[in-house]
Amino acid sequence: MTDDPQQLFLDAYDQYSDAIFRYLYFRTYDSELARELMQETFMKTWNLMSRDQSITHLKAFLYKVAHNTMLTHLRKKKTLSLDKLMEKGFSPSVDYEQEYQSNIAAEGLLSHVHQLPQKYQDIIKMRYMDQLSLKEMSTILALSENVLSVRLHRALKKLKLTFPL
């Protein structure tokens, strides 16, 4: 493995940018914002790497930076008026009813996920929204794959009890 920070960064970007984008998208539901936050995440990471700061678990570090960057943005977020949204190119969807029904179903599922204990919420989001493997989750959370598998099974079992399929 190379010790060149630039090559490590480029490899990390190639390998993790899509996953970090998905992580941010499923928390913001805005692809442009998710892309901006992803870019900011990688810029912050590059700034550290270029100053010879060692990062032991790069993937976990990227997720942590992405999470913190998103929280910082949400704290600063201001609501936009409908006029400003229209100026930026927002227009109501032609198939608004179908989109509305789909959003309600997704929000319903997410509201049931949010009722689960935090350890189950995190595992469901990482597995199904971020599409991480058990091995990747194991590295990030410092838990064995077996523990994660059991928790995922229990989380889905609890979710099935509360969410009508």
CATH fold for domain 1-82: Rna Polymerase Sigma Factor; Chain: A (1.10.1740)
What the block records as the tokens of 113 is: 């996920």
- Give the pLDDT confidence score for residue 94 in this predicted structure: 45
- Per-residue pLDDT at 109 exceeds 90: no
46 CB-contact burial (10 Å; exposed 0-12 / middle 13-18 / buried 19+): middle
- Per-residue pLDDT at 128 exceeds 70: yes
Give the mean model confidence (pLDDT) for residues 131-153: 88
Give the mean model confidence (pLDDT) for residues 99-125: 76
Task: Using a pLDDT cut of 90, give the percent of the chain over it.
Answer: 26
C-alpha span between 38 and 63 (Å, rounded): 10
For the chain, what is the HEC assignment? CCCCHHHHHHHHHHHHHHHHHHHHHHHHCCHHHHHHHHHHHHHHHHHHHHCCCCCCCHHHHHHHHHHHHHHHHHHHCCCCCHHHHHHCCCCCCCCHHHHHHHHHHHHHHHHHHHCCCHHHHHHHHHHHHCCCCHHHHHHHHCCCHHHHHHHHHHHHHHHHHHCCC
Residue 159 pLDDT level (bands cut at 50, 70, 90): confident
Q: Among 8-12, 21-25, 90-94, 156-160, where is mean pLDDT lowest?
A: 90-94
Q: Which of 60, 64, 70, 53 is nearest to 12 (CA)?
A: 60
92-165 CATH pick, 1.10.287.3510, 1.10.10.10, 1.10.3720.10, 3.40.50.10860:
1.10.10.10
Domains of the chain, by residue range, sit at 1-82, 92-165
Residue 93 pLDDT level (bands cut at 50, 70, 90): very low
Q: Which of 3, 23, 118 is nearest to 64 (CA)?
A: 23
What the block records as the tokens of 39 is: 């870019």
C-alpha span between 23 and 16 (Å, rounded): 10
Are 44 and 37 contacting, i.e. CB atoms less than 8 angstroms apart? no
Across the chain, what does the average pLDDT equal? 81
- Give the pLDDT confidence score for residue 163 in this predicted structure: 76
Instruction: Encode pLDDT of 31-84 as tens digits.
Output: 899 999 999 999 999 998 888 777 888 888 899 899 889 888 888 875 555 555
Instruction: Encode pLDDT of 47-59 as tens digits.
Output: 988 887 778 888 8
Apex CA 89: angle with CA 76 and CA 69, to 5°? Answer: 25
